Amino acid sequence: MKKVYLDNAATTQIRPEVIQEMTTVMAEDYGNPSSTHSFGRNAKSILELSRKSIAKHLNCSAQEIIFTSCGTEANNWILRSAVRDLKVKRIITSKIEHHAVLHTVQALQREYDIQVDYVAIKPNGEIDITDLVELLSQEILTLVSLMHVNNEIGTVLDLDRVGRICQQHNALFHSDTVQSVGKTEIDLKTLPVDFIVASAHKFHGPKGVGFAFVRKNSGLQPLFFGGEQEKGLRPGTEAVHQIVGMAKALELSYRNLETERKHISELKSYLIEQLEIEFPAFEINGTQDGFYTVLNVILPFLEDKIAMMLFNLDMKGIAVSRGSACQSGSIRPSHVLAEMLSDENLKKPSLRISFSHYNTKEDIDLFISGLKGI
């Protein structure tokens, strides 16, 4: 049975070149980057080359890239330090953020009694910018935390526009860019953002490694304490093989960006065409022109089919997701869809199909025939 993986917003397949590079580093470059002997110096130099390579692709300085264990950690660090050390008194965010942001903000609200404001969401899942401007008119030291590409519905935030609005109101701007790094151009020299985060496993790199971009002189302090690694901002012996894998994955993603984006965009259009033919009553959750890697749809199935839908597809070797991966298996509706859909539409079955360059038209055909069999 041919397996079909259409859950690339949850995680992606590692590129073979990345595995190759990581294997070499694990076998040969096992020194501790903090050691002063040749083994250590070698590992340190590999680490710094990786940092430089990542910084080059995002057009920032290497010192502004801090390695972390994942996107969740990077989000937690930035939000927590902004409140604890930068003395932010208010966070403006949205109810459709990933839980790595949403639950952190809620914890900070409980612990530090900060003000939290949620910017309004339009029915198509976009952030209401007018509401953001209105909220920012209140003069209080604020951090705005809004994600770039939504992991469930693929809506895209105009980082440049929101960043400029934040600057005009002297607010700090953090964006969870986990779904967009490696999949679209990000130029940190010109983008007015203070903090972004990334996670290697979303762009065909290894799991368990990510990074934060922290603009120079931000004043962030570490989340936890230990050695001098990452200038003391993120102590702990660096996972050199993971970091090398992440840098290689990012390099390949940007080298192949145009061709892979074209291929994936064509697959997404093909899927929409097929849905229009086979399930004409289907609806897209989010904007019509959402990010090219994600499509979230309501399917015109009876409610009694919903519970078995993912299971049936899984039996056929087809992996898609209902809402976000963290919630699969749970009967609660996705917190993102709950914010934007009517009660009636929320009861209907929604599926998230997310693509990578490894997908083919045949995958889409198998998915469609899998749906028809339900």
The mark string for 135-154 relative to ligand PLP (x by CB under 6 A, - otherwise) is: ------------x---x---
- Please say which residue, 42 or 321, places its beta carbon nearer to ligand PLP: 321
CA distance readout (Å), 229 to 20, 25, 237, 238, 357: 26, 19, 7, 7, 35
> CA 128, CA 346: separation in Å to the nearest integer?
21
Going by C-alpha positions, the residue among 99, 6, 4 that lies closest to residue 330 is 99
> CA 154, CA 352: separation in Å to the nearest integer?
10
Looking at 70-78, 238-246, 268-276, 282-290, which segment touches ligand PLP (CB under 6 A)?
Answer: 70-78
For residue 166, indicate whether it is catalytic: no
Among 8, 179, 184, 359, binds ligand PLP (CB under 6 A): 179
**Degrees, nearest 5: CA angle 218-224-226:** 105
- Please say which residue, 147 or 188, places its beta carbon nearer to ligand PLP: 147
Among 176, 238, 260, 363, binds ligand PLP (CB under 6 A): 176
- Please say which residue, 205 or 349, places its beta carbon nearer to ligand PLP: 205
- Please say which residue, 210 or 349, places its beta carbon nearer to ligand PLP: 210
Asked if 47 is part of the footprint of ligand PLP (rule: CB under 6 A), the reply reads no
Asked if 100 is part of the footprint of ligand PLP (rule: CB under 6 A), the reply reads yes
> CA 353, CA 294: separation in Å to the nearest integer?
6
**In sequence order, what are the residues at sequence separation of 6 or more whose Cβ sits closer than 8 angstroms to the Cβ of residue 9?**
151, 152, 179, 202, 293, 294, 321, 324, 325, 352, 354
Asked if 286 is part of the footprint of ligand PLP (rule: CB under 6 A), the reply reads no
Q: Where does residue 327 rank: exposed (0-12), middle (13-18), buried (19+ CB within 10 A)?
A: middle
Looking at 65-73, 331-339, 354-362, 365-373, which segment touches ligand PLP (CB under 6 A)?
Answer: 65-73
DSSP state of 125: S
- Please say which residue, 323 or 370, places its beta carbon nearer to ligand PLP: 323
- Please say which residue, 142 or 199, places its beta carbon nearer to ligand PLP: 199
Among 50, 72, 229, 321, binds ligand PLP (CB under 6 A): 72
Strands 172-176 and 142-145: parallel
The mark string for 184-213 relative to ligand PLP (x by CB under 6 A, - otherwise) is: ---------------x----------x---
Closest separation between CB of residue 304 and ligand PLP, Å?
30
Closest separation between CB of residue 55 and ligand PLP, Å?
19
- CB–CB of 373/12 below 8 Å? no
Looking at 21-29, 64-72, 85-93, 351-359, which segment touches ligand PLP (CB under 6 A)?
Answer: 64-72
> CA 330, CA 315: separation in Å to the nearest integer?
19
Active-site residue set: 326
Binding positions for ligand PLP, rule: CB under 6 A: 70-72, 98, 100, 147, 151, 176, 178-179, 199, 210
